[in-house]
């Protein structure tokens, strides 16, 4: 398996990060066969991953890591440049909300069935989120308590409602442009205006807002 500074050009690329080298190389071989993606291993998140071509899936092993160390590394890495899926996360870590705010796409917990892993990986590769029902329920309830409520769709136009639904389905700006027969720049402008209206900072937060309100 290639080490962490390799920069592959494949459209679908998975980096498995963590200290368990043998385990991660076996996992890389398995995911390469089950997803068709090119898989690479490394020990930690490194900035060189960001210039390997398109967006990659970073499968990041959290086993033995403290909540503070996980969040600190996430906060100092441009997570939204890639699709980050945390695995072997302790259910007592209580970092999910902050991690999602930073751009993490999903979580797999310690002692969770191995069968969940390829499903989660494929879901995130398809541009969707892998979040538990328990987390989503707590997220929705907490945002309600904080006063984040629906108010005439927060002034969204019919086209903006259509676009935020596409965002919730994992569509990129280019996907939106092709679906609505508009230019990518126009799609980007619509997305920017939507973020301002519903007061979110990124696509993950917009997707969560859409799932709550629609």
The last residue of one of the domains, among 75, 104, 131, is: 131
Helix or strand or coil: residue 154?
A: helix
Rounded CA-CA distance 11/55 in Å is 8
The domain in which residue 50 lies consists of: 13-131
CA distance 129 to 170: 8
pLDDT tens-place string over residues 92-141: 777 888 888 888 999 999 888 888 888 999 999 888 889 888 888 777 77
Contacts of 132 (CB under 8 A, 6+ apart): 107
Domain-embedded: residue 140: no
Strand duo 57-61 + 13-17: pairing: parallel
pLDDT one-digit tens code per residue, 71-88: 888 777 767 678 899 999
Indicate whether this model's pTM tops 0.75: no
Pair 126, 151 in one domain? no
- Regarding whether 125 and 66 lie in a shared domain, the answer is yes
Report the Cα–Cα distance between both ends of the chain, in Å, rounded: 44
pLDDT tens string 19-51 = 888 889 999 999 998 888 889 998 766 544 544
101 and 43 in a common domain: yes
Which residue carries 């092993």 as its tokens?
Answer: 61
């Amino acid at each position: 398996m290639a080490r962490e500074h390799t920069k592959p050009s494949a459209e679908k690329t998975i980096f498995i990060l963590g200290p368990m080298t043998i385990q991660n190389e076996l996992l890389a071989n398995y995911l390469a066969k089950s997803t068709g993606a090119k898989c690479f291993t490394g020990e930690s998140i490194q900035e060189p991953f960001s210039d390997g071509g398109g967006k990659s899936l970073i499968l990041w092993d959290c086993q033995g890591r403290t909540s503070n160390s996980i969040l600190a590394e996430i906060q100092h890495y441009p997570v939204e440049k890639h699709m980050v899926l945390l695995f072997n996360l302790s259910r007592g870590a209580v970092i999910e909300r902050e991690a999602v705010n930073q751009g993490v796409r999903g979580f797999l917990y310690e002692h969770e069935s191995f069968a969940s892993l390829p499903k989660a990986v494929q879901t995130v590769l398809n541009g969707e989120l892998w979040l538990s029902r328990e987390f989503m329920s707590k997220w929705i309830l907490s945002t309600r308590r904080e006063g984040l409520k629906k108010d005439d769709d927060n002034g969204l136009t019919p086209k903006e409602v259509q676009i935020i639904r596409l965002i919730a389905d994992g569509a990129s700006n280019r996907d939106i442009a092709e679906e609505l027969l508009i230019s990518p720049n126009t799609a980007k402008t619509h997305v920017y205006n939507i973020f301002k209206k519903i007061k979110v900072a990124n696509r993950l937060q917009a997707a969560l807002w859409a799932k709550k309100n629609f």
